[in-house]
Amino acid sequence: MAISESDIKRLWARSAGRCAFPSCNQELVKVVVPGTLPVIGEMAHVVARRVQGPRGTAGADGDDSYENLILLCPTHHTLVDKAPQSYPADLMLSWKRNHETRVASALSSPSFQTLRELYAFAKRRLAENEHLWKQFGPESTPAANNMLSSSAQYWMLRKLDTVCPNNRRIINAFLSHESMVPEEAWREFVRFKAHAEAFEASAYERGDRDAVPRFPKAFAEALEAGNHESP
């Protein structure tokens, strides 16, 4: 049985596309050579599918579910499978829990003292999203030239580990500082929130891309205008 697309997305998103081995945290999707988009992350089985495999146990062969998978870099995947006695299943599952907890806590909003700080935070997140969209999104040059190129897989993973979390950080930041946001900017934020939540839903479930509201450019313009105002 192959790993399902829904479990791949769940694992990748909850791990933020980084190795869950303690102290590693290596980014697992990166452009190493211009023009290539290698995905170096490996979805390792905690309990092997065969009794003879790493951490395999009689009568309890591991399956391909999210619960039995952990996202690792190639080095640490090899390490844990070469020395399974040193890396038992319970230990690896604790790594996974701790790593995913750190990822989830990173989505909480920092505290801002001024509107300018809030806007600067949001602008940085949007800048990263825009870069990924232009380079690898469905309307990018690589995707337009070759619909079967690796950019499609790269974009799917970057949506999950970077774009959606960035959107969520912006949403949480604005909701936590609602009182300092002017009414007009808040209206544009509400439109952005609708776009971001629909975009995130579409990242997990196959659906009509056209049904997702387009990114409201007026929101970015409001951030830019507000960033130049006096603190």
With vertex at residue 15, the alpha carbon angle to CA 194 and CA 86, rounded to the nearest 5 degrees, is: 170
pLDDT at 34 > cutoff 60: no
CA-based nearest residue to 41, from 206, 158, 145, 132: 158
Tell me what percent of the residues of the chain surpass a pLDDT of 90: 62
Tell me what percent of the residues of the chain surpass a pLDDT of 70: 85
102 Cβ neighbours under 8 A, 6+ residues apart: none
SS3 50: coil
What pTM did the predictor assign? Answer: 0.82
| Domain-wise residue ranges, the chain | 5-105, 115-227
Q: What is the pLDDT of residues 14-27, one digit of tens each?
A: 999 999 999 999 99
Q: What is the pLDDT of residues 83-123, one digit of tens each?
A: 999 999 999 999 999 999 999 999 988 999 999 999 999 99
Say what the pLDDT of residue 225 is: 87
Say what the pLDDT of residue 2 is: 83
Tokens of 23: 């102290």
Tokens of 209: 């891309």
